[in-house]
Amino acid sequence: MDPLILSRWQFAMTSIYHFLFVPLTLGLGWFVAFMQTRYYQTKDETFHKMAKFWGKLFLINFAMGVVTGIVQEFQFGMNWSEYSRFVGDIFGAPLAIEALLAFFLESIFLGVWIFGEGKVPEKVHLAAIWLAAIGSNLSALWILLANGWMQHPVGYVIDPTTGRPMLNDFLALITNPKGWLFFGHTIAVGLAMASFVILGVSAYHLARKSNVDFFKRSFQIAAIVGLVAALLVIIDGDEQGKYVYETQPMKMASIEALWNTEQPASFSILTIGDLSGKKEVWSLRVPGVTSLLACNNLTCAVQGVNDIQAQYQQQYGPGDYIPLMVFTYWGFRFMITVGFLMVILAVIFLFALRGDLTKVKWMKWVPWVIVLPYIATTSGWIVTEIGRQPWIVQGLLKVQDAVSPNLTTVDLLISLIGYVVVYGTLAVADFYLMKKYAILGPDAAMTESVDAAPSVIGGQD
C-alpha cells in the first residue's frame, strides 16, 4: 500500500475522531459557566447541581479532546513534512499562538475549576470555568485561522528562490474571512451540539420522571439556546457558501454536482453518479437555486466542474482537479438536512415547554436527537476537506506533494493500526462513562467520592 494513501487515511481518521469531542467541549463549557454563574447569583441549589452534573459530562468529554489534540499538532510534521517545510513560515505561527494563548488558559483554569471548589474563593472558582470556556473557544479560533489559510491563502508572497509562500501580512492572516466564517460556524455548532446533548439526556430523565425540576430547567435552557445556535449555524453556513463560490469554485461545483457552467445555476435534488464518484448518471434539478445559494440572486452564473477542470489544467498543469463528488455532494446534503431538522426539532421542543414535559408521549424517543449534531459536523468537515482536494493549500500545494518522503508502508501500518486500537478502546471507555453518568443523574455528580471503591489492593481505611 502506498504511504500517501495511508497517511491520508490516518489524517482523516484522527481528525474526524478528534472533532467528535471538540464541539461538545466548546459548547458545553459555556453552559456550565452559565449555570454556575446563576448559582453564584441566586444560590439556587438546582443551578449548583446543574453545573456539577453537566460539568461531569463536560470533563469526561474534554479529556478525549485534549489527548487526541496532541496528535493533531504532531502529525503535520510526522506525516506531512513537505507540507510543514512549504508552509512553515506561515502555518506554524497560528499553531504556536493557539498553544500560548488558548491551551494554557484552558488547561490551567480547568484544573483550578476541577480541584478548586472549596479551596479557592468562590469568585475565583467561577472565573476559572469562564476562562476555561474562553480558552477552548479561543483555541478553535486559531486553528480555524490556520485551516482558513489552507483553504484561502492570504498575506503572503512567494519566495522566488525556494518557491515557498512567505508571510508578509500577519494582519491579513488573522483577519482572513475564511477563518472567521469557520469560527462563527464552529462556535454555533458547539452550542447546538451541547444543546442537543442536554436535550437528549434531559428527555431520558423526563420520560422516567426522575429529577423532574432539574431536567425541565435544563431542557428549557437547551431548547432556547439550541434553536438560536442552529439558526446561527445555518446563517453562517450560507455566508460560507457564498465565500466558497468566490474562493473555491471547484468545491462549490462539486457540492452541487454541477457539471457545466450554468446561468442561472440549478440545484440538484438528487444526482446519481457512477462508481468512480466523479461522473453523473442521472439528476433531478431545481433551476436557479444554486445561484441563490452562491450569490443571493436567481440569475448569476456558477461555474461547472468540467469548465473549472479545463481552466485548472491550463493554470496548474495536467492533473485531476475534481474532488470525490460522491462525498462532497452527499456530505453537504446530510449536513444541511440534519441542520434544518435540528431547527425544526428545537421549535417543537420549545412548544412542548408550554405543557408538562413529563406527560409528552414522544419524550422517550428524544434521546436519539443526540446523534444529529454528530452526523452534521462530521459531514460538514468531510465536505470542507474533500471539497478542496487535490489541494492541501488551495492553488499552492497538492496533497500528493506534501507527504513525508521518508515514511514506509510499515511505519504507516504500525501507526494507523495503533491509532485504530487506541482510539477504538478509548471510544468504548468514553461512551461507557458518558452513558453511565448521564443515567446516574445529578445526585451522583454531587457527591465527590460516591465512586470511591474498595481499595485496589488492600482494605479501605
Work out how close the CB of 209 gets to another protein at its nearest, in angstroms, rounded to a whole number: 26
Q: Write out the three cell numbers for 271.
A: 444526482
Long-range contact pairs involving 307-316 (C-beta distance under 8 Å, separation at least 24): 307/260, 307/261, 308/249, 308/250, 308/253, 309/250, 312/250, 316/395
| Smaller CB separation from another protein, 164 or 278 | 164
Q: Write out the three cell numbers for 21.
A: 469531542
Among 100, 235, 272, 286, binds another protein (CB under 8 A): 100
Q: What residues between 1 and 60 interact with another protein by CB under 8 A?
A: 59-60
Cα(53)–Cα(47) distance, integer angstroms:
10
| Smaller CB separation from another protein, 143 or 188 | 143
Look at residues 118, 96, 120 and name the one whose alpha carbon lies nearest to residue 108: 120
For 4-34, give one letter per residue: b (16+ CB within 10 A) or e. Answer: bebbbebbeebeebbbbbbbbbbbbbbbbbb
Span of 113-121, 175-183, 277-285, 298-306 interacting with another protein by CB under 8 A: 113-121
| Smaller CB separation from another protein, 10 or 268 | 10
Span of 18-26, 254-262, 390-398, 448-456 interacting with another protein by CB under 8 A: 448-456
Work out how close the CB of 51 gets to another protein at its nearest, in angstroms, rounded to a whole number: 15
Look at residues 235, 142, 128, 241 and name the one whose alpha carbon lies nearest to residue 192: 235
Among 36, 46, 68, 240, binds another protein (CB under 8 A): 68
Work out how close the CB of 419 gets to another protein at its nearest, in angstroms, rounded to a whole number: 8
Cα(438)–Cα(449) distance, integer angstroms:
17
Tell me if 67 contacts another protein by CB under 8 A: yes
DSSP assignment string, 121-159: -HHHHHHHHHHHHHHHHHHHHHHHHHHHHHHS--SEEE-
Q: What residues between 225 and 244 interact with another protein by CB under 8 A?
A: none
Look at residues 116, 4, 121, 103 and name the one whose alpha carbon lies nearest to residue 62: 103
Work out how close the CB of 118 gets to another protein at its nearest, in angstroms, rounded to a whole number: 9
Span of 31-39, 63-71, 183-191, 336-344 interacting with another protein by CB under 8 A: 63-71
| Smaller CB separation from another protein, 98 or 262 | 98
Q: Write out the three cell numbers for 84.
A: 510543514
The 119-138 contact track toward another protein, x by CB under 8 A, reads xx---x--------------
Cβ-proximal residues to 147 (8 Å cutoff; 6+ apart), any chain: 179, 182
Cβ-proximal residues to 354 (8 Å cutoff; 6+ apart), any chain: none
Span of 42-50, 94-102, 258-266, 347-355 interacting with another protein by CB under 8 A: 94-102
Q: Would you state the torsion angle of the CA atoms of residues 218, 427, 234, 154, taken in this order, to the nearest 10 degrees?
A: 130
Q: What residues between 72 and 91 interact with another protein by CB under 8 A?
A: 73-74, 76-79, 81-82, 84-85, 87-91
| Smaller CB separation from another protein, 328 or 415 | 415
> At how many degrees (to 10) do helices 81-97 and 122-151 cross?
150
**426: amino acid identity, one letter:** L
Work out how close the CB of 45 gets to another protein at its nearest, in angstroms, rounded to a whole number: 20
Residues touching another protein: how many (CB under 8 A)? 80
| Smaller CB separation from another protein, 144 or 181 | 144
Work out how close the CB of 417 gets to another protein at its nearest, in angstroms, rounded to a whole number: 11
**123: amino acid identity, one letter:** K
Span of 101-109, 239-247, 282-290, 351-359 interacting with another protein by CB under 8 A: 101-109
| Smaller CB separation from another protein, 310 or 429 | 429
Q: What residues between 326 and 385 interact with another protein by CB under 8 A?
A: none
**329: amino acid identity, one letter:** Y
Q: What residues between 382 and 441 interact with another protein by CB under 8 A?
A: 404-407, 411, 414-415, 418, 422, 426, 429, 433, 436-437
| Smaller CB separation from another protein, 4 or 255 | 4
Q: What residues between 159 and 198 interact with another protein by CB under 8 A?
A: 166-168, 170
Tell me if 287 contacts another protein by CB under 8 A: no
- Furthest C-alpha separation in the chain: 79
| Smaller CB separation from another protein, 356 or 448 | 448
Q: Strand locations in 199-346, DSSP E?
A: 267-273, 280-286
For 261-280, give one letter per residue: b (16+ CB within 10 A) or e. Answer: bbebbbbbeebebeeebeeb
